């Protein structure tokens, strides 16, 4: 497959998988990421894996619900023990 064919294929497949409709900018970044990772013998399973890998990389610094609970507890303790 030539580079332009790969780009068209990846764009079409990512469009079917993409769930963040409000973030077309991230969709474009995801497509670029996948195209840069693409090899000769890749398939839809590998493409889906790369979408997950891309999104996982973005979420590495995200705040989890457990983080929020810890911050709320720490804030509550600070308010109780601060004169």
Residue 64 above 90 pLDDT?
A: no
**Where do the domains of the chain lie?**
3-81
Tens of pLDDT along 24-58? Answer: 999 999 999 999 999 878 899 999 999 999 999 99
Question: What is the model's pTM?
Answer: 0.77
Residue 82 above 80 pLDDT?
A: no
Tens of pLDDT along 3-19? Answer: 999 999 999 999 999 99
Task: Output the DSSP codes for 14-47.
Answer: HHHH---TT-HHHHHHHHHHHHHH--SS--HHHH
CA 73, 70, 83: angle at the middle one, nearest 5? 30
Quick one: which of 30, 29, 36 has its CA closest to 6? 36
């Amino acid at each position: 497959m030539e580079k332009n064919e790969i780009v068209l294929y990846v764009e079409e497949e990512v469009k079917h998988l993409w769930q963040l409709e409000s973030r077309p900018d991230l969709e474009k970044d995801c497509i670029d990421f996948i195209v840069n990772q693409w090899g000769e013998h890749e398939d839809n399973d590998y493409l889906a894996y790369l979408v997950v890998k891309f999104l996982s990389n973005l979420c590495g610094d995200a705040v989890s619900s457990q983080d929020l609970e810890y911050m709320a507890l720490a804030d509550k303790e600070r308010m109780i023990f601060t004169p």
